[in-house]
Amino acid sequence: MPSDLPAALPIAYNVVHLAADDHRQALIDELMHRGDRIVDAIDSLIFVQGTSSPAAWARNSWLAPAEYRVGSIGEAARLLASVQRNWHLHSISHHRRAQLIADKLAPIRFRPLGFPAPVPSAPLGVFGLLDRDRLLASPVCSSAFADGRPVFAEDREGPPNRAYLKLWEALTLARTQPGPGDVCLDLGASPGGWTWVLNQLGADVIAVDRAPLVPELAGAPRVTTHRGDAFSLTVEDLDRRPDWILSDLIAYPERILALARYWCRACPQAGIVITVKCQGAVDPAEIDHFLAIDNARLRHLSANKHELTFFRLPDAGPPEGASRRP
């Protein structure tokens, strides 16, 4: 950093987590359960001293935060530009002044993503003003998307419901998708939002549910329907061992945990993506049970409601997700 720019100030925290919408308390409980010390909280930002890694209930985790005393808008912009090119503003206070700093930085166009699309590879830092002359910035974040929100160019005609956006986001973060020749098991498939995504990718889909798929999917050539209880299905019931197991079932977390454990054991090389629907207040110990599964990750997606998404992928899954503590 040039010598004419201010040095970082001493701070009492090493990570800042941005809570998922309406899940601030769930994030605080998760962080305290894993032993992190809460130093401060400003709206959805939770400042902690502790584990320098993502949290399940965080939209984004700022992993290299620093504070600077800045004398002017220009000085703040020069300081940020000296660290790296790409920054996005998360406005905390002094919003107009913060926006003027952002206006002096290299412009970034956040275009809606098509699907499938790669996760951006360029580092994206975040900054905001804690006071008129106090800049908070982190060049390293857990998410490559502004505030952890990938935005997709939606398909408003093909899918039977909006659940497809959840799987689009999950597979984007997974950095791998099923394709032609892959066998995908969709547990709790009706009416077919996830089956639609998998079929569009060219995979062979086994759709399991007591309820039917929409007719246009039920009759698709690569889709096989299995009417029955998704929880009672075993790998021995299938003619082909699945390469992917996916589920957006509505059930208590204990049942979803048993489902995840079974399929992770039964198909150790398969990619597994399962929604974990939470009921009321979230017990952080439930997160530990899921993360105890080898190579497991948990993340609250932008498309999630009161739920998390469980990943178990051969390469350990998205780095944006929470993982088992060392």
Location of structure tokens 């920054």: 87
Q: What is the CATH number of the domain that holds 186?
A: 3.40.50.150
pTM above 0.85, yes or no: yes
Between CA 40 and CA 47 the distance in angstroms is 5
- Comparing C-alpha atoms, which of 44, 43, 39, 49 is closest to residue 15? 49
What's the rounded Cα separation, in Å, for the pair 167 and 150? 12
Specify if 242 maps to a domain. yes
pLDDT, tens digit, 9 for 90 and up, residues 70-95: 999 999 999 999 999 999 999 999 99
Comparing C-alpha atoms, which of 320, 303, 302, 116 is closest to residue 311?
Answer: 320
**Same domain, yes or no, for 170 and 71?**
no
What is the span of the domain harbouring residue 60? Answer: 15-148
Residue 2 has pLDDT above 80, yes or no: no
Residue 34 lies in a domain: yes
Q: Please give the angle made by the CA atoms of 167, 170 and 176, to the nearest 5 degrees.
A: 105
Where on the phi/psi map is residue 40: left (φ > 0), alpha (ψ -120 to 50), or beta? beta
Same domain, 124 and 196: no
Instruction: Give the span between the Cα atoms of 284 and 28, in whole angstroms.
Output: 10
CATH number at residue 55: 3.30.2130
The reply to whether 139 and 170 lie within a common domain is no
Is residue 157 one of the residues assigned to a domain?
A: no
Beta bridge partners of 49: 37
Q: Token digits for 238? A: 């299938």
Helices and strands per DSSP (H, E), number in the chain: 8, 15
pLDDT tens digits, one per residue of 227-251 = 999 999 999 999 999 999 999 999 9
Q: Examine residue 96 and state whether it is found in any structural domain, yes or no.
A: yes
